[in-house]
Structure 1
């Protein structure tokens, strides 16, 4: 008998919804990719901790690490302690460093195929406390030293403090040149658009994206041996493609475009340099769609482009909904998916962030997840959705 429940609509009414009955595609065992694919991973809060949840951070370490083990088992790497883990929105630097330490330890136990790259930022330095570019450099160096001491690969995250104190492109060139020269191994740079974090408006020294891109490309070209790639999250595929084609040879474009990732990963075959014609991936949405991402990337590696799009295409409407404005609240949808699919026992987030999306938003997310064949345990998903509805006074 088909599963059915009542879901709220934007006009305030309830409507019956019948599930499709289709479950996620199963990735092939030992799946191999021809793209590097990192999933930025969420953290599982500890709802039983005796804390003030808006002011303090408590993590369920066992559940958090178990989720990373799941991602590795699907062939995905983990981009650790990034914005998907609520970095800067509930997850502080000391807890982030502990998360990185535990993730690196778990990866070593899992095996050499367990990729981890860790977010290195300046978030322990409040933007308003930064008085100079030197303050920003010292903040980066502090986190850089701590992560490299653990053996971690760096993702040099965009800095709110740098955006606050920088007066132009030269300040960005100075900071990044200093950091890159010191890096023990090639790093991934990080360009997060203001839709993800309004405090990063005008990053790279200009509100004009073309000018900002020129600055970033110049920094990369000057230190190409220290740059593995750059992740950009501008939600504009044309800008990503334009930058990808101009990268120094061998430097990868890691798409962070949660609206257009399927076509960007598939690529356009531009030029003789392979990394200029395709994007690798460092995506928050991969946390929520991990089985489909794994199966699709496996198909692409086998040369089956049609199956890649058949599997991944239906996930794009879901992703666009999860990352809808205000985009910075997308983490709520990612954690909601983990809860629906039984990967954590509760829908509670660090910083109380589960409250950032409406019941109507979450109901539409449920519909889109079902349409994308991403509800791994439909009966459990329906039970949990009904529980959430009942909490909001809705008899489903």
Structure 2
């Protein structure tokens, strides 16, 4: 195998591959990237047996072939080579080496046979549809903060993507929760997605997928089966197993009867919460909200380090209310608001609170209160 490739194209492909590779591997081949050169393309494939990513890049192929080499080492080399360099990669399968040349730099890397590289079994996908990158980006970006990190509740360690009903029309919905807060984000259902099975997309896959969604003009091809999900652009294909579990009935957690309504400038609110939480050494310190007519007082009382209080002007016309929340959860939810105003709907100091962006019902957040 022998081919030449632009540094920028190689760096992009190898970056994507090495981020999938697990740092601590008991199986040596899983630390490697499979490089295949044929025609006018080179493809770079990496897997951790749960996720597989394949990135294609244009290359000048002199001799077709394939080999595998350490993803991290190759990434470090390419990253340190000068911008604009043309990089030549030559594999000598008899010697088990890959030579990487650019200008006066020359590296010789150990390889492992391509036959040992595990390729993820193809799946029969029940549903295939296309969605614009900004739509998928919004669905996952606004929900991922609520993914649980508790390994025992593995079925909450991802984003539940499914088709649902919202006010009489079908929507593509992403939901994440860790039991303390919940995010439910809707987008219009793409054509061809009606038969999609509901799947839980793992946290790591959500992180890798984010790298595919930066181009606002890109359409992403999505394929879903009961066990796998695949996202594809013209250059990159990301395939992942989905979490084998049942996502709980989240609709029971979303309060329907919260009538006490507070409207507040989202960025002012987030900054005020951040400021009063400063006196607390623990990030989970409760922030107390005291609501009176058109007035909100935020306060933190940390016996060891001090106390803080800040007042905000809000739109609130219901009876007086005192309620406490984890400061970190409030900040994460407030930072999701793209519009100017956040609307909080309360019931009592012991009930879950609902938050949405203005009158937009396509993004709904729930946060559980804390005792203060």
**TM-score above 0.5:** no
Q: Taking CA–CA contacts closer than 8 Å with sequence separation of 6 or more, which of the two structures ends up with the larger relative contact order?
A: 1
Structure with the higher fraction of residues in strand conformation: 2
TM-score with structure 1 setting the length:
0.19
TM-score with structure 2 setting the length:
0.20
Structure with the higher fraction of residues in helix conformation: 1
Q: Which of 1 and 2 has greater Rg?
A: 2
